Structure 1
Amino acid sequence: MAYDEVLAQRIHDVLDGEPGLTSKKMFGGLGFMVDGHMAVAAGSGGALMVRVDPADGESWIDGAAVAPMEMRGREMSGWLLVDRSALATDEQLELWVGRGVAFVRTLPPK
């Protein structure tokens, strides 16, 4: 299934003007990279994949709208999957995109 193009555009709008921003199609989604590190990605079904500090991510998991990201049945440390229900408003999307960007800004540029 392809990524949610409406979500991808909303992410693009939030990140417009962000220094070092690129986007790339990968794993069936559209990833948004900052200085070479993927911060967030638009996935299928309107879900948002967010890269976070693993220590912070644990506290944001609620078991409903925010869950650990899984790939091939394995939990991906430092990645969360945010359901579209938690992204309904621009403020909610900005919060999650901001968390992803803030974390990758702590990493050395690639």
Structure 2
Amino acid sequence: MAYSEYVVDRVRRQLKGTGVLEEKKMMGGYLFMVNGKMCIGIDIDKDNQQDRLMVRVGKLNYEELLTKEGSKKMDFTGRPMRGFLYIYPEGFDTEEDLDFWVEKALAFNKLLLQD
């Protein structure tokens, strides 16, 4: 399997009640869309077999969030996608850390709805 059902369930619980939630299997991973916008996903790094989150945080505080533990540029195309981050397990193992990343994704998601 290309993603962890356990991590999917953890994220699903965090997103419950946050808006119109859609779940999709995409690009070998699992994606959560909130109010029609890509918000957060889960996949496995093929190089090291670690679970990782794919978090859409936008460009505003992108550089600051890159300094957080477990955070790396999302670059599955060979070119970093500014505004999107990979978060490795050391950055979301605890519920408090997962809460942090889900809150960042949802905060950006709300900004998208204002456009």
TM-score by length of 1: 0.91
Higher relative CO (Cα under 8 Å, sequence separation at least 6) belongs to 1
Q: Does 1:52 align with 2:57?
A: yes
**Given residue 98 of structure 1, which amino acid in structure 2 is its aligned partner?**
E
TM-score by length of 2: 0.87
The CA deviation string for residues 59-79 of structure 1, in whole angstroms up to 9 with x for no partner, is 111386111100221111110
Identify the structure with the greater strand proportion. 1
**Given residue 85 of structure 1, which amino acid in structure 2 is its aligned partner?**
E
Aligned-partner Cα distance in 2 for 1:76–1:99: 17
- Matched ranges for 1:72-91 at <5 A: 72-91=77-96
What's the counterpart of residue 3 of structure 2? 3
State the 1:108 CA deviation. 2.8
What's the counterpart of residue 107 of structure 1? 112
Q: In structure 2, do the counterparts of structure 1 residues 64 and 36 end up closer, same or farther at CA, with 3 Å as the change threshold?
A: same
**Given residue 5 of structure 1, which amino acid in structure 2 is its aligned partner?**
E
Unaligned stretches of 5+ residues in structure 1: none
Runs of 4+ with deviation above 2 angstroms: none
Aligned-partner Cα distance in 1 for 2:62–2:76: 17
